[in-house]
Amino acid sequence: MLFRRTMPAALALVATGASHAALTGAGDLIFTSYNGDEDGLAFVVLKDVAPNTVVYFRDDEWNGSAFNTGESATSWNSGASVIAAGTVVRFSSYDTNVRAASVGTLTGVINTNFGLANSDETVYAYLGSSVNAPTAFLSAIANASFGTPTSSGNTGVLTNTGLTAGLNALALNTAANAGSTSPDFGQYNGVRSGKADFAGYAAEIGNLANWTVGGNGDYATTVPNTTAFTVTPAVPEPASVAMLVAGLGAIGVLARRRAAR
């Protein structure tokens, strides 16, 4: 009886591994596509997403301490099931009252001027106690450059967001995009497999050399790549395997002694 009770429990412990993680901060979610013509976005989650997680997406400019007003914000609910790390989520029809998400649901919260512009646009993804009270920024993408708190213009800044340009915040109007100063479209086209862990993809996504960026064109029918990211787990160390075998052996010895009694 001891063997029957203990062995399945030991195997279950080995099989299940760590519990599901939650989105907590910068880089747990990173944008992989922006389309100002189709009014669409895509992002990858680099951690498992707990059921009914709420993330806000906002294209009002962040000025270093608060959001400006005059544009839009949406609330994304991840849904009733865990979303596995590596999943790519697509938003489409972002400029309509019936916004669509490939996973979960997308709801307008601030519905003023809610299209995605072809120039001087910045979109932030963040957690918050409300749409106006961010508690943790996850990612940002701009088809302009990120500004500074004292700069003029319509671009948002990264000050006090905890985000890092070129890692979890993407500015698409750099030399990497063939000279376009205000691109309509950008998409990550780098590797999506082969990393030992999902966090390893952040630097790949943040490198604009791995992006296809379009200038002033017509991308209204362009569908982003939603292929999932995958990892190649490291082979267990021999010492770890030996410890597991020894532990199972000890369970077997106990079970035989119990049976003999």
pLDDT in tens, 135-182: 999 999 998 888 766 554 557 899 999 999 999 999 987 544 444 467
pLDDT above 50 for 3: no
pLDDT above 80 for 49: yes
pLDDT above 90 for 260: no
Q: Is the dihedral of CA 203, 207, 209, 211 positive or negative?
A: positive
Of 229 and 249, the one with more pLDDT: 229
Which two three-digit tokens encode residue 126?
A: 């963040």
d(CA 83, CA 85): 7
Which two three-digit tokens encode residue 231?
A: 């990892």
pLDDT attached to residue 245: 56
| Average pLDDT for the chain | 83
Of 218 and 224, the one with more pLDDT: 224
pLDDT attached to residue 143: 87
d(CA 45, CA 27): 9
Q: Environment class of residue 21 by beta-carbon count within 10 Å: exposed (0-12), middle (13-18) or buried (19+)?
A: middle
The amino acid sitting at 212 is T
pLDDT above 70 for 248: no
Which element (helix H / strand E) includes 107? strand 105-111
Of 52 and 177, the one with more pLDDT: 52
Contacts with 200 (C-beta within 8 Å, 6 or more apart), sequence order: 231
Of 200 and 11, the one with more pLDDT: 200
The amino acid sitting at 247 is G
pLDDT above 90 for 1: no
Which two three-digit tokens encode residue 153?
A: 């213009």
Q: Is 191:153 a contact under the CB 8 Å cutoff?
A: no
Which pLDDT tens digit goes with each residue over 69-84? 989 999 999 999 999 9
Q: How confident is the model at residue 252 (pLDDT cuts 50, 70, 90)?
A: low
If you compute the radius of gyration of the chain from its CA atoms, what whole number of angstroms results?
23
Of 51 and 19, the one with more pLDDT: 51
Q: Is 54:76 a contact under the CB 8 Å cutoff?
A: yes
